[in-house]
């Protein structure tokens, strides 16, 4: 299984109720539209999160 950039992003969060991952970025409607309909090769909001920073934000 190939992992994408979101799998390593600091903003990725897991919701236990829905059993799904989601992006925690607080984007307004214009930013979401720009990101959705753009031709970016990668997410411009991506921040690399290592295991320590990801676990630290869950505590």
Name which of 38, 45, 56 is nearest 5 in CA terms.
45
Report which of residues 51 and 40 the model is more confident about: 40
Contact (Cβ atoms closer than 8 angstroms) between residue 3 and residue 44: no
pTM of the full structure:
0.60
Would you say residue 54 has pLDDT above 50? yes
Q: In the 8-state DSSP scheme, what is residue 9?
A: B
State the pLDDT at residue 8. Answer: 84
Would you say residue 42 has pLDDT above 70? yes
Tens-place pLDDT, residues 4-32: 778 888 888 889 999 998 888 898 999 88
């Amino acid at each position: 299984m190939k992992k994408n950039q979101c799998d390593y992003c600091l903003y990725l969060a897991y919701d236990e109720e829905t059993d799904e991952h989601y992006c925690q970025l607080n984007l307004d409607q214009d930013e979401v539209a720009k990101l959705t309909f753009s031709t970016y090769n990668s997410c411009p909001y991506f921040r690399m999160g290592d295991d320590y920073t990801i676990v630290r934000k869950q505590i």
